[in-house]
Amino acid sequence: MMDKTCRVCQGSWPRKDHFIADLGLSNAYLHDDQYFPGWTVVVFKRHATELFHLAPTERIQLMEEVNLVAKTLAQVYEAKKINYELLGNQLPHIHWHVIPRLAGDPSSLEPVWRVEHEPILRSGPDLQSMVQGLQQAIQNAR
């Protein structure tokens, strides 16, 4: 199923050069803003806006895919905690924000949405290095 008005279904988000891994029912991408290093989004491949729109087997597999990404990010970034966000208010397509929170994290008690900051946008070799490191780590975790 596809929604012609959905940015995910149109292929305009997330950015293709941020692709980390095909997980099965979802794809993992490095989030545009890397103020919180390792911030990753796990995007369901087909259009759905609510978890209850998925078959029970899909929900289970999707959670396993989110778990794989979270475990990998925790190891790579030595995270104190992983934050999980599934909102969909601005972009109604199932996608999980999986965010490692680190020891030196500013405002560690606040959700990332409430931490005022200038976005850190990675590009070129810096972006490629981050993506390739996570690709290898996910491959090793499977």
pLDDT tens-digit readout, 84-96 = 999 999 999 999 9
pTM of this prediction?
0.95
* Per-residue pLDDT tens digits for 9-38: 999 999 999 999 999 999 999 999 999 999
User: Tokens representing 111?
Assistant: 């959700």
* Per-residue pLDDT tens digits for 114-126: 999 999 999 999 9
The percentage of the chain sitting over the pLDDT mark of 70, rounded to a whole number, equals 99
**Residue range 103-111: average pLDDT?**
90
- Alpha-carbon distance 70 to 74, whole Å? 6
Domain boundaries, the chain: 7-141
Q: What is the CA radius of gyration of the chain?
A: 15
pLDDT of residue 28: 98
CATH placement of domain 7-141: 3.30.428.10
Which stretch of DSSP H or E encloses residue 56? helix 56-77
| Antiparallel, parallel or unpaired: β 19-22 and 95-101 | unpaired
| Residue recorded with tokens 């090793």 | 140
